[in-house]
Amino acid sequence: MLGLVFAPCALALTPALGFELDRYMGSWYEIAAIPGFLQSKCARDTQSEYSPAENGALAVITRCMRGDGTAETRESRTRPLEASVPAVLRVTAVKFLGIWWYPLGRESIVIAFDPDYRWIALGHPSLRYARILSRTPTLADDAAKSAAAALAAHHFDLCA
């Protein structure tokens, strides 16, 4: 034995059963995040608006405040990878020649949500990006604990 140590592989995320894409529409506030590249530009007050877009996609307008106090606004698109599993989404912020380039996007998997869609927990299979979103700017402690527990159960580092 050579004494090699291998890092554990990212575990597959289990998409939430019963997730309805239509109920994802509307305003969401970011309560907590393990930020990805685009989210790292935002320091606070992140809010996203989801609305119907072309070809079954959702248009996403995200607004936030940067660390220097300036406003940031960006547009993206998200759509299910497969219609039969709406909780597995592909998100892209790359638009070129009037076309949204989904192959250059990344996956976002809904791993848990409140039955009344008051909160939602999403993550990336790499376990390096995750978000807890709420319909309101704050989330009750019990709801926040449920969302965080869902991320922890999928092996996300809550300290990140």
Condensed to tens digits (0 to 9), the pLDDT of residues 54-66 reads: 989 999 999 999 9
**The pLDDT of residue 1 is above 60:** no
Residue 108, both tokens: 């976002």
Higher per-residue pLDDT: 38 or 85: 85
Alpha carbon distance 96, 99 (integer Å): 5
For 76-120, write each residue's pLDDT tens digit.
999 999 999 999 999 999 999 999 999 999 999 999 999 999 999
Check residue 9 and give its pLDDT: 41
Alpha carbon distance 55, 104 (integer Å): 18
Q: Does the pTM of the predicted model rise above 0.85?
A: yes
Residue 84 burial (C-beta neighbours within 10 Å; 0-12, 13-18, 19+)? exposed
Each as own residue / partner, the long-range contacts of residues 5-14 (CB below 8 Å, 24 or more positions apart, any chain) are 10/125, 10/126, 10/127, 11/127, 11/154, 11/155, 12/125, 13/109, 13/111, 13/123, 13/125, 13/154, 14/111, 14/154
**The pLDDT of residue 43 is above 90:** no
Contact status, residue 79 vs residue 54, Cβ threshold 8 Å:
no
